[in-house]
Amino acid sequence: MVVVVVVVVVIVVEVVVVVVVVVVEVVVVVVVEIVVVVVIVVVVAIVVVVIVIVIVVVVVVVIVVVVIVVVLVVVAVIVVVVAVVVVVVVVVVVVVVVVIAVIVVAALVVVVVIVVVVLRDITLHFIKYNRKARAAITSPLYRERVSSLRGCVASALYPPPSRHSRDRHHRTTPHSRVVAAAVVVVVVVLAVEVVVVVIVVVVLVVVVVVVVVVKVVVEYYVGLFVCLLVSPFIYFFMSIAFTVEVAAAAAVEVVVVVVVVVVVVVVVVVVVVVVVVVVVVAKV
């Protein structure tokens, strides 16, 4: 029962952590992409309008180039600031998730220790009662009743324990059962953690691939092509801004993966410590 409770609580905690991290990350990435696309469209429209006005009023080409460069520098700065804000938000969310996971694991430790102590007392009481029952069965009165038909049936249903069975019972102590249960808990927890890490890494890799593909297809081959038709300077500065944004998104994904791996390692260490404490308490 303790093994089932520990495994269920650990799986629920890991599922909550994975769902919160993945949902927050996907939402943040989608919001950033929408903001960046809107900013790019607005800036390109402004630049086109400025160029048309400049052509109409026949302004000097140098002034036009200066205006375009200033606008593009502002766009690049906005993209970098947005990327930094995304990184900060994701790190804060992951830290909150780690704190929640640590609190839940600490509560789990307390519950497991309490349950093990209670089960130990119940087991000791059962062993004491079982010894009294065996002593009653192996008494001379029991041997006398076995000589009758009812005693034969009773001996067939409830044979007295042999020396081999007593030795085997002595070898299979409550401590050994607790150790076996602890080993099962550790194996199950490690398997769950491995599955969690694989799922998180796969999801994050898919998000990175989708972000990069969308940027390459939409921004480079569509947005930058239009910008290139207007001015080569727009293509140059937009390329820098988009490259910085892609690098920031990849950095966010790497940070999330590292933090999730750290959380998994912390949970595994805590579970192993809990199992060791349970074994020591059961032995005592």
Tell me the pLDDT band of 35, cut-offs 50, 70 and 90: confident
pTM of the model: 0.41
Please compute Rg for the chain using Cα positions: 34
Highest-confidence range of 21-35, 82-96, 178-192, 219-233, by mean pLDDT? 21-35
Higher-confidence position of 85 and 163? 85
| Residue that is written with structure tokens 């205006």 in the block | 67
B/e letters for 51-67, b = 16+ CB within 10 Å, e = fewer, are beebeeeeeeeeebeeb
- Check residue 219 and report its DSSP letter: I
CA distance to 140, 195, 224, per residue, from 198 (Å): 64, 5, 36
Tokens matching residue 58: 């026949």
Domain limits, the chain: 2-283
Tell me the pLDDT band of 192, cut-offs 50, 70 and 90: low
Long-range contacts formed by 20-24: CB under 8 A, 24+ apart: 20/93, 20/97, 21/93, 21/94, 21/97, 21/200, 21/256, 21/259, 21/260, 22/200, 22/203, 22/204, 24/90, 24/93
Task: Judge whether residue 151 has pLDDT over 60.
Answer: no
pLDDT at 69: 64
Instruction: State the helix-helix crossing angle for 174-214 and 61-137, rounded to 10 degrees.
Output: 160
Chain mean position to CA 16: 8
In the chain, the amino acid numbered 180 is A
- Check residue 231 and report its DSSP letter: -
Task: Judge whether residue 123 has pLDDT over 70.
Answer: no
Higher-confidence position of 64 and 254? 254
- Give the whole-angstrom CA distance, residue 169 versus residue 176: 11
Q: What contacts 54, CB < 8 A, 6 or more positions away?
A: 63, 64, 67
CA torsion sign for 90, 91, 95, 101 is positive
Q: Count the residues in the chain.
A: 284
Task: Judge whether residue 157 has pLDDT over 50.
Answer: no
CA torsion sign for 83, 89, 93, 96 is positive
Which of 160, 165, 163 minimizes the C-alpha distance to 134? 160
What would the pLDDT profile of 217-249 be if each residue is shown by its tens digit?
Answer: 666 666 656 565 655 666 666 666 666 666 666
